[in-house]
Amino acid sequence: MSYIRLFGSIAISMALLSCGSETQNTSDKVIVPSEVPADLDTSQVFRSAQSIFYSMPSPLELTSLIKKAGGQYRKDLLHNPAKAIIYQSARTRALALGVYGADLSYSAVYEQQGDAVKFLAASKRLGETIGIQEAFSAEIIERTNANLDNRDSIMAIMTEMYWQTNSQLKEENRDQLALLVVAGGWIEGLYIGCSVYDPSEPNFNIQKRMSEQKFASQQLEEMFILMKDDYMVDETGKIFQPLFELFNSLNIEYEESSVSENKGNGSINIGGKTNIDMTREQFDNLRNIVFELRAKIVEP
């Protein structure tokens, strides 16, 4: 996919050159040219735009969902921040960065600031090894330290860090690493969700949230296939395969959707039930696969 993007982007660049690079300098330094010749074949550009718009699971949202479903904070589940130094390749570092990022958002969601600071340090250490600086700038670290007691501020800063990591990698055409960071974070979210579920006292809300990860699994599998020419992605895709297969085996039942407006505040509700069937046996399988996969990622 990176070749498609590169080719499409080169087409954009050629077009810009051919029309004299009429760049616009505005106060915020956004200088994207706004016009290109009509006879330019934009099919490559179109493919480029389509390949850039893709959805990925958000560990920030997943950890919030686990808390809302009644999951308790379990510090013992989280990865040891001191182990950030053991990862030696870009692949293992990106995956581990995703894991620490999810632990960071999990501890922030549960207002465990002391733990969050440790995961922030581990993320910074790993991020720097793969060339991510903006997400862990001195300014952001200072703001984090100054707002440790303010949950909303910490959440906003965590979001900003995650956004910066994701956007920097995409900006530099390192989508493969961005995918691995997201995949690592997704597995950590699944690991936390599957671990806080106690089979002797089943919490069906958590089980439901885990089964809903079928959608995220489909999105990730698609991205792994698109980028499989990359060695790192291919290697990682192989170890994720049992998980994708498990999610693919779950059936979904859809009802026709409907739209209604809440007369109180004017907000829109999109109705229509979606039910993802997951038996107890399938959930047990899911937990085993997730535990095994997470172990491979944190102890490469």
Q: Write out the binding residues for another protein, residues 8-67 only, by CB under 8 A.
A: 9-10, 12-14, 16-17, 19, 28-40, 42, 45-46, 48-50, 52-61, 64-65
3 binds another protein (CB under 8 A): no
Show the site string, 187-226: x = touches another protein by CB under 8 A, - = not: ----------------------x--x--xx--x-------
Angstrom CA distances, 81 to 3, 103, 162, 272, 290, stand at: 36, 10, 18, 43, 20
Size of the site for another protein (CB under 8 A): 71
Please, which residue, 138 or 268, has the CB nearer to another protein? 268
Residue selected from 172, 229, 292, 299 as contacting another protein according to rule CB under 8 A:
172
Which 80-119 positions form the footprint of another protein (CB under 8 A)?
none
SS3 176: helix
Nearest distance from C-beta of residue 110 to another protein, angstroms: 13
Question: Could you give the CA distance from residue 270 to residue 108 in angstroms, rounded to a whole number?
Answer: 30
Contacts of 27 (CB under 8 A, 6+ apart): none
245: amino acid identity, one letter: E
Nearest distance from C-beta of residue 57 to another protein, angstroms: 7
With contacts defined by CB under 8 A, name the span among 85-93, 141-149, 190-198, 266-274 that binds another protein. 266-274
Contact (CB, 8 A) for 290 and 190 = yes
Please, which residue, 20 or 114, has the CB nearer to another protein? 20
With contacts defined by CB under 8 A, name the span among 78-86, 142-150, 234-242, 250-258 that binds another protein. 250-258
152: amino acid identity, one letter: D
Nearest distance from C-beta of residue 183 to another protein, angstroms: 14
SS3 233: helix
Question: Could you give the CA distance from residue 21 to residue 144 in angstroms, rounded to a whole number?
Answer: 41
Contact (CB, 8 A) for 298 and 96 = yes
Question: Could you give the CA distance from residue 138 to residue 141 in angstroms, rounded to a whole number?
Answer: 5
Please, which residue, 112 or 296, has the CB nearer to another protein? 112
Question: Could you give the CA distance from residue 150 to residue 111 in angstroms, rounded to a whole number?
Answer: 9
With contacts defined by CB under 8 A, name the span among 111-119, 236-244, 261-269, 285-293 that binds another protein. 261-269
Contact (CB, 8 A) for 215 and 269 = no
Greatest extent of the chain over all pairs of C-alpha atoms, in Å? 69
180: amino acid identity, one letter: L
Please, which residue, 105 or 236, has the CB nearer to another protein? 105
Residue selected from 106, 162, 186, 191 as contacting another protein according to rule CB under 8 A:
162
Residue selected from 129, 144, 166, 176 as contacting another protein according to rule CB under 8 A:
166
Residue selected from 272, 280, 292, 299 as contacting another protein according to rule CB under 8 A:
272
